[in-house]
Amino acid sequence: MRIVLLGAPGVGKGTIASLLSKKYGLPHISTGDIFKGAIRKGDELGLRVKSIVESGNLVPDELVNQVVRKRLLQEDASKGFFLDGYPRTVEQANAMDKFSKPDAILNLNADRKTIIKRLSGRRVCTGCGAIYHIRYSQPKKEGICDSCKGKLIKRKDDDESVIANRLDVYENQTKPLIEFYNKRKSYFEIDSNYEMEDIDRITKQCEDALSKVK
């Protein structure tokens, strides 16, 4: 199964995709993780996208298409995947249809207040990139990563002003994508307005939707 997860930043795509990935035995592929990993490494791709990502804007379609197509050609994705963070524009969706048309599209929805609360409390390890949250997923020692003992920081793109910009960018540039996919029988709306303690309610909706995919 080739599954795309849509939704605004902070709606829970990464968390849900990771859970579904384990259940179905398919890789969770996140364009955000690909770009942030490149930024940490300081490689050519990282240098190209660093200022774009930190400002909350979208990486140009042509570059994203190249990166995703290359990733989906890897062996672990040959039987399917859960793709988080792509496509984000109609142009990207058209490109994906040509190299790996999705079998299902899950669109996660949450209100603006919920999203800002989730993202503004997020902390990221400067060493390994592990993600924590001051409310939902706290480290054993405050400010220190459990895995590599790296320092936990609040990313620039998790400041409330940048979050607001990211949501505005999403609404202005990405919402037309919903109209593009909404015409397909493989498109499903998922209510993501739940606390992390009730995350099973979100994954259950996704599993019910995927049971309808042939």
CB 10 within 8 A of CB 118: yes
Which neighbouring-strand residues pair with 28?
Answer: 82
CB 3 within 8 A of CB 82: yes
Q: Of the residues 2, 36, 118, 122, which is catalytic?
A: 122
16 Cβ contact list (under 8 Å, min separation 6): 5, 106, 108, 190, 192, 199, 202, 203, 206
Q: Is the alpha carbon torsion for 5, 7, 8, 12 positive or negative?
A: negative
Q: Of the residues 13, 36, 71, 118, which is catalytic?
A: 13
80 Cβ contact list (under 8 Å, min separation 6): 1, 2, 3, 24, 26, 103
Quick check: is 88 catalytic?
Answer: yes
Q: Of the residues 117, 154, 155, 201, which is catalytic?
A: 155
Q: Of the residues 36, 88, 118, 123, which is catalytic?
A: 88
* Residues catalogued as catalytic: 13, 88, 122, 155, 166
